[in-house]
A and B are shown apart, each in its own frame.
Chain A
Amino acid sequence: MDKKRVTELSIIANKVRKNALTAVYNAASGHPGGSLSIADVLTLLYFEVMNVDPKDPKMENRDRFVLSKGHTAPALYGTLAERGFIPKEDVKTFRSIGSYLQGHPDMNKVPGVDMSTGSLGQGVSVAGGMALAAKLDNKDYRVYSILGDGELEEGQVWEQAMFAPHYKLDNFTIFIDNNGLQIDGDITKVMNPTPIDKKFEAFGWHVINCDAHDFNALEAAVNEAKATKGKPTAIIMKSVKGKNVSFMENNPAWHGAAPKEDDYSKAIAELDAIIERLEASL
C-alpha cells in the first residue's frame, strides 16, 4: 500500500477513535481502551479488505465480520459510521433508551452487524460457523473476527480453536487484539494466556505476529491469510490499549470507564491534532 493510502487510512482510523470516544462520552459508559486499540484493524477491514456494501448490508456474498470482543462496540459503530452504514451523529445515542446502538452489538438492529456479541468466547464460534457455511455452499466469501487477549481465557475459544483447523476453514481469519490488559490488570498476572502464537500453532492454525497499528503489516498479514490454504489464520496483533490518547494508553483504568468532559475534550483535541498533521502531509 502506498504512503498516501496509509495516511488516508490513518486519518479514518483516528476519526473512528473520535466516534468511539464520542459514543462512550455521551453514554457516560462503555469501553474506550479496547475500542481505541482495534480502530486501525477495523479501518483496514472495512475500507480495504472486506467486500461489503453499505447500501446492501445483507448482500449474500459479502465478507462477514464478527466482533467477538463485543464490548468494544463503540469502535465497530464508529467504523460503520465512517463507512456509511449508519449516520455519524447516531453514535451519540449509544447505550441510550430507544437507540438501536445497544451497549453490545445487535445484528437485528444495526445495519452491517453480522452477529450479536458481548458474551466473550461466543462470537468466534459463530464466525467459525459462518466460515463452515461458506464451505458447504462453495461460496468464496471470507469471515473475519476480532478477539481480545483476555477473551482467550474463555474455554469456548479453544473449542473453536480445535474446530476451525479440523474443518480446514482457510476462509476464516481471526485477529487477537493483544494489548496485554484486561479489567483486573495485566493479562499475564490475571490468568496468563501466553504464549498465544504457540498455542494457536499447536491447535493447527497458521499464525502471524504483527503490529496492530501498522497498516502495511496488517495488510500483508491479511494477504498471507488469504494465500494460506487448508487452515485458518490467527493474526496476533501487538496493540496499545487506549491507542493515540496519551493518558489512556496502556492504562487498564480506561477498559470500561467513560471520560468526563475534561478528559473527553483533551482526548478529542489530541486526535484532532493527529488528524490535522496527517491531512497536512497528504
Chain B
Amino acid sequence: MAKQATRVSYGQALVKYGIPNKNVVVLDADLSKSTMTTMFKAECPERFINMGIAEANMMCVAAGLAASGKIAFASTFAMFAAGRAFEQVRNSIGYTHLNVKIGATHAGISVGEDGASHQCLEDIALMRTIPGMTIINPADDIEAQMAVKAAMELDGPVYMRFGRLAVDDINGADYKFELGKGVELRTGSDVSIIATGLMVGKALEAAEKLADEGINARVINIHTIKPIDEEIIIKAAMETGAIVTAEEHYIMGGLGSAVSEVVCAAAPCPVKIIGTDRFGKSGKPAELFEEYGLTAENIVKKSKEAVSMKK
C-alpha cells in the first residue's frame, strides 16, 4: 500500500492542475518547502508569490488577486491560516465570497515534535463558522489531489486541510471524488463510524476488529466537512441507530459537532465523538495518537458504548 502525506499531494496537484490553468496563482508565507508549494514554484515561478512571514497580508493579497480574476491558493500551516489570519479570512475572503483557496498544511497533532504551538486542532471549528466557506479534509493522496482539483473548479472560498504525516492510501486509482458527498467505505448495520482525514484509516481498522466481535460497523468517510452530506448521515443514524465520529481535531466544533447537528435535528441517536480535548504536545505522531485516544482501539471502545446506548 502506498503511503504519502497529503501536503505532498497538495504540491503535486498544484503542479498537475494549477499549471495548465493560467488563472491560478500560488502564495506562500515562507513555508513552501513544508507546504510543498515549492513544487509549483519550481515549475512556474512567475505565478508563485512568496509573501514572507506575513499571513494576514497574504490572505488579503489573495483576496485582491481573486477580486481581479485570479484563483489564489494561499498556503501556510493550518495554525496560521485558520488561527492567526482568521479575521482576514472571515472578512476579506468569506464575507466577500472571493475565489481564494486556502491550502492549510500541518493540521492536527500528527505534526508531532513541533508541539502544541503548531498543532492546529481548532481550524475546522473556526472555518465552519464562516458562511459560504467550503471545508475539505482529505484522507489520502488521491482524495487530496481530487480535493485540490474540485476546489479549483468551484467558484468561492475553500479551506483545504492537509497533514504533515505520510498516510496509507485508502482509495483506489479509480476513486471518484464528489465534493459534498460522503463515501460509505464499508457497509454495516450495528453502528456507523463517521471519520475524516487520517482517522478514516483507523476507522476501517476498528471495523475489522468489531467484526471479529460480531459487531457490524458501517464506515463513512466525510472528506467535505462543509457543506456536509446530511443524507448519508441521516441514513446512517436511521439504519444503524448509533454513531461514532473520529477526527484529528478538537471535540468541539469539528466533524463530531457537524454530525451531531444533523443527527439531533433529523434522526436523534447516540453520537460518541472522538477527538482531542486539550492542547497537543511534543512527541512522535504514533505516541500522540495513543495518548490522545486517536486509535482504532478507542474507536472500538466508543463503538461498543454507542451500541450499548441504543434503545
Q: With A116-B96, A118-B91, A122-B92 in contact, is A129–B63 under 8 Å at CB?
A: yes
- A22 CB–B CB distance under 8 Å: no
Q: What separation, in Å, do the CA atoms of A137 and B72 have in the docked complex? A: 14
Chain B CB within 8 A of A108 CB: yes
CB pair A115–B49 under 8 Å, yes or no, is no
Q: Complex Cα distance A64/B69, Å?
A: 13
Residues B51-81 near A (CB distance < 8 A): 51-52, 54, 56-57, 59-70, 72
Cβ contacts under 8 Å, A106 to chain B: 95
Distance between Cα atoms of A114 and B61 in the complex (Å): 14
Question: Looking at the complex, which one of B47, B72, B96 makes contact with A115 (CB distance below 8 Å)?
Answer: B96
B97 at the interface (CB under 8 A from A): yes
CB distance from B197 to the nearest CB of A (A): 30
Do the beta carbons of B54 and A115 come within 8 Å of each other? no
CA distance A136 to B51 in the complex (A): 15
Judge if A156 is at the interface, Cβ distance under 8 Å: yes
Min CB distance A119 to B, Å, is 5
Main secondary structure, interface of A, reads helix
Binds B, one of A24-32, A43-51, A72-80, A159-167: A159-167
Known interface pairs A126-B67, A163-B61; A108-B97 also in contact (CB < 8 Å): yes
- Flag if A129 contacts B56 (CB, 8 Å): no
Pick from B25, B46, B64, B70: contact of A126, CB under 8 Å: B64
Bound form: Cα–Cα A257–B16 in Å: 54
Chain B residues with CB under 8 Å of A166's CB are 52
Contacts of B95 in A (CB 8 A): 106, 116
Q: Are B65 and A129 in contact (CB under 8 A)?
A: yes
| Residue ID in chain A nearest B63 by CB atoms | A126
Query: Bound complex: CA of A167 vs CA of B64, how far in Å?
Result: 15
| Complex Cα gap A280–B308 (Å) | 89
Which of A108, A118, A123, A133 makes the CB contact (< 8 A) with B70? Answer: A133
Q: Which of B24-53 contact A (CB under 8 A)?
A: 25, 46-47, 49, 51-52
The count of chain A contact residues (Cβ–Cβ below 8 Å) is 32
* Interchain CB contact (< 8 A) of A116 among B46, B51, B57, B91: B91
Q: Does A130 contact B (CB under 8 A)?
A: yes
Contacts of A172-231 to chain B: CB distance below 8 A: none
Say if the beta carbon of A112 comes within 8 Å of chain B.
no
> What residues of chain B lie closer than 8 Å to A108, measured between beta carbons?
96-97
Within 8 A of B (CB), among A116-153: 116, 118-119, 121-123, 125-134, 136-137
Residues A107 and B67 in contact in the complex (CB < 8 Å), given A119-B87, A132-B49: yes
Contact B96 A133 (CB under 8 A): no
Tell me the A76-119 residues at the B interface (CB within 8 Å).
106-108, 114-116, 118-119
Specify which chain B residues have a CB less than 8 angstroms from the CB of A134 in the assembled complex.
68
User: Nearest residue in B to A157 (C-beta to C-beta)?
Assistant: B57
B88 interfacial by beta-carbon distance below 8 Å: yes
Q: Is the CB–CB distance between A129 and B62 below 8 Å?
A: yes
For residue B108, give the distance in angstroms from its CB to the closest CB of chain A. 27
Q: Are B97 and A125 in contact (CB under 8 A)?
A: no
Is the Cβ of B68 less than 8 Å from the Cβ of A156? no
The residues of A that contact B63 with a CB separation of less than 8 Å are 115, 125-126, 129
Q: Report the minimal beta-carbon distance from B69 to chain A, rounded to whole angstroms.
A: 7
In the bound complex, what is the Cα–Cα distance between A267 and B68 (angstroms)?
A: 39
CA distance A73 to B253 in the complex (A): 35
Q: How near does chain A come to B83, taking the closest CB pair, in angstroms?
A: 15
For B88, the chain A residues whose CB sits under 8 A away are 122, 125, 156
Inter-chain CA distance A129–B81, complex, in Å, is 17
What CA separation (Å) do A24 and B49 show in the bound complex?
41
Least CB distance from B228 to A in Å reads: 25
A137 and B96 CA atoms in complex are apart in Å by: 22
Beta-carbon nearest neighbor of B57 in chain A? A159
Known A-B contacts A108-B96, A114-B67, A127-B64; the reply to A156 vs B57 at CB < 8 A is yes
Q: How far is the CA of A115 from the CA of B63 in the complex (A)?
A: 9
B52 touches A122 (CB 8 A): no
Known A-B contacts A130-B64, A132-B49, A136-B47; A159 and B25 likewise in contact (beta carbons under 8 Å) = no
Assembled-state Cα–Cα distance A66/B46 (Å): 26
What CA separation (Å) do A204 and B25 show in the bound complex?
Answer: 25
A50 CA / B267 CA spacing, docked (Å)? 57
- Verify A125–B61 contact, CB threshold 8 A: yes
B49 — which chain A residues lie within 8 A by C-beta?
132, 167
Min CB–CB distance B85 → chain A (angstroms): 9
The CA of A166 and the CA of B91, in the complex, are separated in Å by 25
> How far is the CB of A184 from the nearest CB of chain B, in Å?
21
User: Once bound together, how far apart are the Cα atoms of A128 and B72, in whole Å?
Assistant: 14
Contact at A122–B60, with CB atoms within 8 Å? yes
Interface centre among A106, A118, A128, A129 (most CB of B within 10 A): A129
Cα A64 to Cα B65 in complex, Å, equals: 12
Q: Pick from B47, B64, B66: contact of A125, CB below 8 A.
A: B64
Given contacts A115-B96, A116-B92, A122-B92, contact A130 B57 (CB under 8 A): no
Instruction: Name 11 interchain pairs, CB-CB below 8 A, sorted by A.
Output: A107-B67, A121-B56, A126-B92, A128-B57, A128-B60, A130-B65, A130-B67, A132-B65, A133-B65, A137-B68, A163-B57
Known A-B contacts: A116-B91, A125-B92, A130-B68. Give 4 more (CB < 8 A).
A108-B97, A125-B56, A127-B64, A129-B61
Binding site for B on A (CB under 8 A): 64, 106-108, 114-116, 118-119, 121-123, 125-134, 136-137, 155-156, 159-160, 162-163, 166-167
